[in-house]
Structure 1
Amino acid sequence: MQLEQQLSKAIQDAAGTYSDQIQIELEQPAQLIHGDYSTNVAMKLARVAKKNPFEIAMDLKAQLERKELPINQVDVVRPGFINFFIDWDQIQLNEATVNEWATNPRKVVVEHTSINPNKSAHIGHLRNACIGDTLVRIHQLAGSEVEVHNYIDDLGNQLADTVTALLHTESSKPAARFGDYCWEIYSSLNQAYEANELSTDVRDDILHKLEAGNNSIAWLGYAVADKLASEHIEEMGQFGIDYDLLVWERDIVGKGFWEEAFEKLKQTDVFFKQESGPQAGCWVIRTGEDVEDDLEESAHLADKILVRSNGVLTYTAKDIAYHMWKFGLLERNFLYKPKTNELWTTNADGIEAEFGQADAVINVIDYRQEYPQKVVKQALFAAGYEEQANQLHHVPYGVVSLSKQTAKRLGLEVQADKDVYAMSGRKGIGIKINDLITEMKQAVRVQSPQANEQTVETLTFAAIRYNMLRYNTTSDIVFDLDEATQVTGNTGIYLVYTYARANSIAEKAEGANISADGASFARAADSERALLKHLSGWTTTFQKAVHTLEPNLICTFAFELASLYNRFYSQCPVLKANEDEQKRRVLLTQLVIQKLEDVFAILGLPSQKKI
């Protein structure tokens, strides 16, 4: 049993008949003088039992001291806080993370990246992929079977624009890859639209042909989308991000998933055909949300169009059908072909295979798609799939903008009174992933001039991935190249250097025949206790990350661990200490190395033992 669980259970037992009326919470006090753990349970019990909280705390203390707990001391502080001082010699700090679903495994489908196949991927797409990939790693460690989907919208306006641009524009700017060429002509096309040099009717005609299929434009569109999707997969692969299945929108339509979903929804009282008004002839789903008086807003929020009056499906309709398939609620299925040794793709000319059938679904999609995601969930509820609807989780994330300094370095025109620069694919403003890697390597060389090329590579990818993950997912990011490559502070590079430092100390200790065998923390210094206390909170942090779907919790834990270790290193010599101190400090170093390795594996950060 984990330390916090052990303490919580002991407190619950001591609370007796009142234990089911309160929530027991443990926290780690900021100051070591207040113990390693503390609880305010006595104040909560006082409200229920109508007794003095200090008296309750003293009674609980007496009971807890009689239990077999890994504690050296229990203190009570008015008005009723109970502080625990842990006997760290009884704690197994390097035990494996608890696999929550190990005894009853569940399957989780995680959909992430899902870039429109219209041009090269940029830093905003990379944030999506880093968040999604980290959630995959978290849930795998938690004991789930995880299947990773990358959804390719090959029937949308964005692909239609790129095909239109290929047919009607040119770019003389050198491009190493097809996606980079499309980046330039996509921007040129939108300038042509704005200048009325080309009508969007041309794009609309191409979109209709893409949707109709089996014509020259459709086959050209499929080829363009496939090439761009392959480049996106290659780009993400540089960051250790991979997928199990590419799902093509054309295959959702071609397999008739919507027809089956349509029949299910028609049996509900929230899906109906509008007979009058601006939506006449459309099939809509009522979400039940309150709306404003404004007619246009009301039309958007009250009824969501799934099938237009001309019979054309909206994106949300196809997404509803796709999610019914994800949960194994449709009789129809895709056919599949292998794209690489590890990656499969849906394909009309494929074979049967085992995909989908999820117990839970996680979608990493930016916060601007929050409403359509709610509509998908509402459709599942309406169709009677309440359990599945409750297991559909949308992870929204904020947009990535550029700092003024970074925008200037990329050659963008900057203004004196503007510090943040939004990216725009239509205007060609942004950092393509490969350009980001190039610029980041140069910034790393400036910040770490002593680093060799292998180290530059490690620091570059660690800096980028960590910077995509260290913020709360819903926070917008202002990306700054110099800030992300700092050697100190909350960066991936700081973690890599800390890991290398710890390994250097461990190697020197081994060379000096200093062993951790028989180490005791009975006389641990404050900086050593602070490290022990932080390490003991790992399982709670990990479990919270699993349930809140917030990778930044792991980043925060890792940064605090690195900071505490570096403080310990500056205050507590290892090689020059006495024998008892050497043993426990080598053990602490080994524990930090093991935990940083766990963190690197979850966050997908590269590392080096020597720098």
Structure 2
Amino acid sequence: MEIGQILQQTIKDIVKTYDCDVQVEIEQPAQLAHGDYATNIAMKLARVAKKNPYDIALDLKEKLVETKLPVKQIDVVRPGFINFFIAWDKVAFFASTDKQVDKQKVVIEHTSINPNKSAHIGHLRNACIGDTLARMMKQDHHEVETHNYIDDLGNQLADTLTALLHTESDKPATRFGDYCWDVYSSLNQMYDKGELSTDKRDNVLHKLEEGNNSISWLGYAVADKLSAEHVEEMGQFDITYDLLVWERDIIANGFWDRAFEKLKTTEVFFKQEHGPQAGCWVIRTNDKQEANEESAEHQADKVLIRSNGVLTYTAKDIAYHMWKFGLLENDFLYKQKTETLWTTSAVGQPQPFGRGNAVINVIDYRQEYPQKVVKQALHAAGYETEAAQLKHVSYGVVSLSKNTASKLGLETVEGKEVYAMSGRKGIGIKISELIVEMKEAIRVQSPEANEQTIQALTFAAIRYNMLRYNTTSDIIFDLDEATQVTGNTGIYLIYTYARANSILQKAQAADLTSTEGSFAEAEDAERAILKHVSGWNGTFERSISELEPNLLCTFAFELASLYNRFYALCPVIKATPDEQKRRLKLTELVKQQLEVVFSILGLPKLERI
């Protein structure tokens, strides 16, 4: 519990003696001269108790002094404010966030790129969010298992196979995914011009679903190659997975058959006898929209088995989630791809994957309704606890700024500032292209940095840029803005960490200690840092509760800004002996806190640049 929460709880306990139902609020004064924290609770009590607020504040102060709060001074200011000055030497800055209750196995699915071409920056945003959520859950002492779902039976892979069989590209490509990017776009142009029928794709899709034929084996080989490139590319950002889950293995292992039997016993799953969905098995949701005319897209999401007997994506997703929660008797077989990565397989061995207490899916907001259908299916099948523990982390899409769209050769128009990426049209920024641009920008900004440092700064800058926005916000991606190395960037944070480390190394070389300082006489710039660091546990708990990584980015950026302001105002090595000890201890505190945040955000700890 952070110091502000401790103050709030203590005041709440005292307010109970007044037999008044008022809300206790703790504020942070704009000026540190007015204290580290303040409350107006006396004014609230005065309106109810019909007493002078200043007298109530004095009474509260007397009772607060008798507590064991880490406070060195309490001031009462007319008309009834109570200001608290914290005894920072008594504050435990790195108190454990382990609440010792309700620690779970959390299954997190993220990335899940269609294996049909190279990954772009929108896919990277998904992976960065998902990986950071996994790190957050591990920091909160949960057991975490990360899945990357490979849809090897979908239209997108069928299109890529059709493109490989019927088109060519003369553009230079060093990776298979880049070649597929080009032929996939060419194929869709042929569809649009009527030069090739989509019947070709439909035939390929049928072969994929049928299995054990030349097309299906070719599809597996293509998907395996592309997914391997995706995993390797994400690995550059220190993003890893525990398990690759192949859609074909969900079908082969009869997951849907078992899920179908469970759903048939419910009142919400039935076969349509009339209308445009006649012959389809559908699920009735409790969505209020059902009372009105639904969009065709939402109606399609509720079809689990088409009239021709083919399963929809939503059906397979329901079965997959029943397995995630350990609700099916069926299981996969597994093979080890690397030392840390496993994959589902037609042949292999049992492993203790799945059986999660909670499931988190990182999927963009356009999949919000299908995710609701999966949750409703779990609930309808009697798995209310599991349905409540299924969380969808919805994130906004990544579009291109007008400036960036123009650089990519898109036709821009007056008054239109945002341009959507489109895999069908080959419009977008591949992750590999972004890496090249970022490296060049960092070389210009840091000409003395070696290649290893440039490499680390590149991936840190890109990763942080994907995390610093609220997940629900759309990102308008601008290449010039994304490659900035000043302001609220990962590079700014890493430079701050390197600065703190440099000061501590100089102190160590001069045989100066960073452990003996006292914060009793801390100055305003120092108190601002102490107050900020003391709020870490509260910020972290909120990020876990809201599943929102950008709160940690904001915390880290504010800490870095406060420390750099302190550095400009307060000499450390050249200070007086008492100031020197205190400021070295403060610098060590900042370094340790940044290390904690960097580990969660996936940023490198560069001791020098």
Give the TM-score taking structure 2 as reference length: 0.95
Structure-to-structure mapping, 1:18-417, within 5 angstroms = 24-42=24-42, 56-77=56-77, 80-93=80-93, 95-100=94-99, 102=100, 104-291=102-289, 295=293, 297=295, 300=298, 304-415=302-413, 417=415
Q: Distance in 2 between matches of 1:413 and 1:442?
A: 26
> Kindly tell me: are residues 27 and 250 of structure 1, through their superposed partners in 2, closer, same or farther at Cα, counting changes over 3 Å?
farther
SS in 2 for 1:291: helix
Q: Distance in 2 between matches of 1:367 and 1:194?
A: 27
Letter in 2 for 1:67: T
Q: Distance in 2 between matches of 1:497 and 1:299?
A: 48
Q: Distance in 2 between matches of 1:140 and 1:148?
A: 11
- Give 1:41 deviation, angstroms: 4.5
Q: Distance in 1 between matches of 2:231 and 2:297?
A: 38
Residue pair 1:42, 1:54 contacting (<8 A) in 2 also: yes
**Which digits, 9 at most, give the CA deviation of each residue in 1:353-411, with x for residues without a partner?**
10111011000000000000011111111111111111110001111122333334444
SS in 1 for 2:392: strand
**Which digits, 9 at most, give the CA deviation of each residue in 1:508-544, with x for residues without a partner?**
1222222234312222211111011101011101111
> Kindly tell me: are residues 293 and 405 of structure 1, through their superposed partners in 2, closer, same or farther at Cα, counting changes over 3 Å?
same
Residue pair 1:97, 1:141 contacting (<8 A) in 2 also: no
Q: Distance in 2 between matches of 1:19 and 1:248?
A: 61
> Kindly tell me: are residues 566 and 313 of structure 1, through their superposed partners in 2, closer, same or farther at Cα, counting changes over 3 Å?
same
Residue pair 2:40, 2:82 contacting (<8 A) in 1 also: yes
> Kindly tell me: are residues 558 and 299 of structure 1, through their superposed partners in 2, closer, same or farther at Cα, counting changes over 3 Å?
closer
Q: Distance in 2 between matches of 1:590 and 1:259?
A: 58
Deviates more, 1:69-78 or 1:599-608: 69-78
Aligned pair partner of 1:576 in 574, 577, 593: 574
Q: Distance in 2 between matches of 1:324 and 1:286?
A: 18
Structure-to-structure mapping, 1:449-460, within 5 angstroms = 449-460=447-458
- Give 1:553 deviation, angstroms: 0.3
Letter in 2 for 1:573: P
- Give 1:503 deviation, angstroms: 1.1
Residue matched to 1:12: 12
Structure 1: give runs of 5+ residues left out of the alignment: none
Deviates more, 1:564-573 or 1:454-463: 454-463
Q: Distance in 2 between matches of 1:91 and 1:69?
A: 10
Residue pair 2:301, 2:373 contacting (<8 A) in 1 also: no
**Which digits, 9 at most, give the CA deviation of each residue in 1:109-148, with x for residues without a partner?**
0000000000000110000000000000000000100000
Q: Distance in 1 between matches of 2:249 and 2:46?
A: 62
Letter in 1 for 2:444: V
Residue pair 1:423, 1:429 contacting (<8 A) in 2 also: yes
Residue pair 1:111, 1:362 contacting (<8 A) in 2 also: yes
Q: Distance in 1 between matches of 2:543 and 2:103?
A: 18
Aligned pair partner of 2:521 in 511, 520, 523: 523
Letter in 1 for 2:224: D
- Give 1:96 deviation, angstroms: 5.0
- Give 1:68 deviation, angstroms: 1.2
> Kindly tell me: are residues 138 and 46 of structure 1, through their superposed partners in 2, closer, same or farther at Cα, counting changes over 3 Å?
farther
- Give 1:257 deviation, angstroms: 0.9
Q: Distance in 2 between matches of 1:41 and 1:122?
A: 52
> Kindly tell me: are residues 2 and 296 of structure 1, through their superposed partners in 2, closer, same or farther at Cα, counting changes over 3 Å?
closer
**Which digits, 9 at most, give the CA deviation of each residue in 1:278-313, with x for residues without a partner?**
111111111122238874528836982111111111
Moved over 6 A (4+): 46-52
- Give 1:20 deviation, angstroms: 10
Residue pair 1:126, 1:236 contacting (<8 A) in 2 also: yes
**Which digits, 9 at most, give the CA deviation of each residue in 1:476-511, with x for residues without a partner?**
112223323333210111111111111111111222
SS in 2 for 1:365: strand
SS in 1 for 2:195: coil
> Kindly tell me: are residues 53 and 444 of structure 1, through their superposed partners in 2, closer, same or farther at Cα, counting changes over 3 Å?
same
Letter in 2 for 1:357: R
- Give 1:45 deviation, angstroms: 5.5
Deviates more, 1:341-350 or 1:119-128: 341-350
SS in 2 for 1:272: strand
- Give 1:42 deviation, angstroms: 4.7
> Kindly tell me: are residues 7 and 296 of structure 1, through their superposed partners in 2, closer, same or farther at Cα, counting changes over 3 Å?
closer
- Give 1:249 deviation, angstroms: 0.6
- Give 1:49 deviation, angstroms: 6.2
> Kindly tell me: are residues 214 and 24 of structure 1, through their superposed partners in 2, closer, same or farther at Cα, counting changes over 3 Å?
farther
Letter in 2 for 1:7: L
Residue matched to 1:610: 608
Q: Distance in 1 between matches of 2:581 and 2:45?
A: 43
Q: Distance in 2 between matches of 1:272 and 1:243?
A: 37
Structure-to-structure mapping, 1:429-578, within 5 angstroms = 429-578=427-576
Residue pair 1:108, 1:362 contacting (<8 A) in 2 also: yes
Residue pair 1:485, 1:491 contacting (<8 A) in 2 also: no
Letter in 2 for 1:232: H
> Kindly tell me: are residues 378 and 52 of structure 1, through their superposed partners in 2, closer, same or farther at Cα, counting changes over 3 Å?
farther
- Number of residues paired by the alignment? 609
Residue pair 1:136, 1:146 contacting (<8 A) in 2 also: yes
- Give 1:445 deviation, angstroms: 1.6
> Kindly tell me: are residues 165 and 15 of structure 1, through their superposed partners in 2, closer, same or farther at Cα, counting changes over 3 Å?
same
SS in 2 for 1:85: strand
- Give 1:205 deviation, angstroms: 1.0
Q: Distance in 1 between matches of 2:394 and 2:527?
A: 37
Q: Distance in 2 between matches of 1:50 and 1:263?
A: 66
Q: Distance in 1 between matches of 2:262 and 2:82?
A: 56
- Give 1:459 deviation, angstroms: 1.5
SS in 1 for 2:295: helix
Residue pair 2:301, 2:369 contacting (<8 A) in 1 also: no
- Give 1:91 deviation, angstroms: 1.2
Percent identity of the aligned residues?
Answer: 71
SS in 1 for 2:581: helix
Letter in 2 for 1:364: V
**Which digits, 9 at most, give the CA deviation of each residue in 1:245-295, with x for residues without a partner?**
000111111111111111211222221211211111111111122238874
C-alpha RMSD over aligned residues:
2.2
Q: Distance in 2 between matches of 1:581 and 1:166?
A: 69
Residue pair 2:106, 2:356 contacting (<8 A) in 1 also: yes
Give the TM-score taking structure 1 as reference length: 0.95
Q: Distance in 2 between matches of 1:161 and 1:55?
A: 77
Structure 2: give runs of 5+ residues left out of the alignment: none
